[in-house]
Amino acid sequence: MKLGIMGAMPEEISGILDMLDDRVRRQIGGREFWEGTWSGLEVVAVFSRLGKVAAAATATVLITHFHVDHILFIGVAGGADPELSLGDVVVARDLIQHDMDASALPMFDRFEIPLLGRSRFAAHASFRDKAIKAAQLFFDHDFDGVVSKQTQASFAIGTPKVATGLIASGDRFVSDAAYLESLRAVLPDLRCVEMEGAAVAQVCFEFSTGVTVVRVISDRADHDAPVDFPRFTAEVASVMTKGIAKQFLYLLMLDLSTH
């Protein structure tokens, strides 16, 4: 079992790199891929840079060059569900590209990926369950130790939740409540918006590789997002992505050792 771990920004992946043993760096396509191990599990970790093209290119290298069996994407996102607050976690059930629209042509629906005949890509079911459990274990056992009560209070974090559902990706930082509402009107199960997950999911679908996407809510994708996002990313994102990834690796290792 070889796991690829991706984040879009250094803040999302730096904590994870710290956990890897026997790290070897390889530079491909302007990106640094770090091969290493975590308790014997083979891991390749990389930060892709932002947006769908960067994420798709990086996922393709993880699959075709490093031969990973599964990709875990972990990072931050704008909440699209009014039930979600900063610090909550969304694990994708499925993913869609909200800026894909060839519907001016009569043969395509809005969001449909032309010639693939689908708009949604499913996450790997049993890995998704592991990611949900990993985030819950992180909140139950680790969160208060790595994010101070003061920092939690400054982001109005109460008891953080773990949710699952639809994640929408697009090449746009959403900071517009009206746009978000228009998406929610046609995608009622939408949980959060970000800029990479569905691109990785499309590549994984095309290469028959499993995908898991975990997102920590950093903002509400509204006019406050440009303020909330950088502060949350700087102060909280890295410790949360590291903590959740660690629990995920732990659950994966337990599973592999019992099968």
Q: Which is nearer to ligand SAH, 36 or 160 (CB)?
A: 160
Should residue 193 be labelled a site residue for ligand SAH when binding is judged by CB under 6 A?
yes
Beta-carbon contacts of residue 68 (< 8 Å; ≥ 6 apart): 2, 3, 4, 44, 62, 209
Inter-residue contact 157 to 232 (CB < 8 Å)? no
The residue among 119 and 175 lying less far from ligand SAH, judged by its C-beta, is: 175
| Spacing of C-alpha 36 from chain mean position | 21
Tokens of 258: 């019992």
Q: Does residue 88 belong to the site contacting ligand SAH (CB under 6 A)?
A: no
Instruction: Name the residue among 184, 244, 187, 206 with its Cα closest to residue 5.
Output: 244
For residue 20, the minimal CB distance to ligand SAH (Å) is 22
Tell me which residues in 23-62 interact with ligand SAH (CB under 6 A).
Answer: 50
Question: Helix (H, G, I), strand (E, B), or coil: what is residue 180?
Answer: helix
Please give the structure tokens belonging to residue 252: 């994966």
State yes or no: is 12 an active-site residue: yes
Residue closer to ligand SAH, measured from CB, 42 or 171: 171
Please name the residue that has the structure tokens 């993880």.
62
- Per CB under 6 A, 121 contacts ligand SAH: no
User: Taking CB under 6 A as the rule, does residue 76 contact ligand SAH?
Assistant: yes
User: How many C-alpha atoms does 23 have within 13 Å on its Cβ side?
Assistant: 12
- Marked catalytic residue, from 81, 112, 196, 219: 219
Q: Is 240 exposed, middle or buried (0-12, 13-18, 19+ CB in 10 A)?
A: buried
| Structure tokens that stand for 109 in this block | 């629906």
Residue number with CB closer to ligand SAH (202 or 218): 218
Select the residue whose beta carbon is closest to ligand SAH and give its number: 78
Is residue 77 part of the contact set for ligand SAH (CB under 6 A)? Answer: yes
Q: Which of 12, 81, 88, 194 is catalytic?
A: 12
Structural tokens at position 84: 């979600």
| 8 binds ligand SAH per the rule CB under 6 A | yes
Size of site (CB under 6 A) for ligand SAH: 19
Q: How far is the CB of 55 from ligand SAH (least distance, A)?
A: 8
Shortest Cβ distance from residue 117 to ligand SAH (Å)? 26
Q: Is 42 a catalytic residue?
A: no
Alpha carbons 242 and 18: distance in angstroms, whole number: 9
**Which residues belong to the active site?**
12, 219
- Residues within the interface to ligand SAH (CB under 6 A): 8-9, 50, 75-78, 173-175, 193-196, 218-219, 221, 225, 229
